Amino acid sequence: MKRIALMVFRLLYIIPYWFPKLVHMSKSDKYTWKEKYDFLRQITVAANRAGRVTIDAHGEENLPEKDGYILYPNHQGMFDALAIMESDPHPFSIVMKKEVKDIFFLKQVFAMVGAIPIDREDVRQSMQVILQVAKEVSEGRNFIIFAEGTRSRNGNELLPFKGGSFKSAMRAKAPIVPVALIDSYVPFDRNTIRKTTVQVHFLKPICYEEYKNMKSTEIAEEVRSRIEKTIKENIKKEN
């Protein structure tokens, strides 16, 4: 990908320092989650700048002051987490598909945030992940879960949101924070290095009292509806 190559090229002077530190921190227990996240965020911000990507963030005031919430963004591509990480100063972990857990560099990044791999074809393992995420959220961890299950291949269009993705939040009685991503597919999914802007909109949290009587499928549709509405209101037509 041209943009990833550009990021690497423009950061060659610092990568020999960053990568060994990343590997060391990912294997060490002496650093807090906040320290690990802050280091990753430092790398992320520099990489985005090097790749000519501007993050236009909105609604940071909607992020709960107390940790123990789950972010539910639409899923456009590999750049999604980078856009959110630059915008959110609160450490978060992520539920990732098992196929990417051993990829070089991503493996160290996932270890830094305590990411949890999920096998969506294995019902039993998926249930274990739901329970583990619920437990960690109840203990004050924040998570990202992509409720579409896979990335959309059609720009800013949304796929259906899966009800099962919300069971961890329901079990933990945690705030649900919808996140609308706009043009997050452009940096890595288009073969270009032109300057681009990715919008991140943190929407008003849906608290447990608001969704406690809803089915998971109803919650999924409500979150999807709010994200879709925000995208339509803020999308910029290409020239």
CA 172 to chain centre: 19
| Per-residue CA distances from 64 to 38, 175, 202, 204 (Å) | 18, 8, 10, 9
The model scores a pTM over 0.75: yes
> What whole-number distance in Å separates Cα of residue 13 and Cα of residue 107?
22
Torsion of CA 144, 84, 46, 190, to 10 degrees: 100
Q: DSSP 3-state helix, strand, coil percentages of the chain (rounded to 5)?
A: 50, 15, 35
Show the beta-strand stretches assigned E in the chain.
53-58, 70-73, 93-97, 116-118, 143-144, 176-182, 196-202
Task: Give the Cβ contact number of residue 91 at 10 Å.
Answer: 21
What does the pLDDT profile of the chain (239 residues) look like in tens digits?
799 999 999 999 999 999 999 999 999 999 999 999 999 999 999 999 999 999 999 999 999 999 999 999 999 998 999 999 999 999 999 998 888 777 878 889 999 999 999 987 888 999 999 999 999 999 999 999 999 988 888 889 999 999 999 999 999 999 999 999 999 999 999 889 999 999 999 999 999 999 999 999 999 999 999 999 999 999 875 43
Helix, strand or coil, per DSSP, at residue 161 = coil
In angstroms, what CA-CA distances link 88 with 44, 59, 63, 163?
12, 10, 8, 25
Neighbours of 122 (CB within 10 A): 12
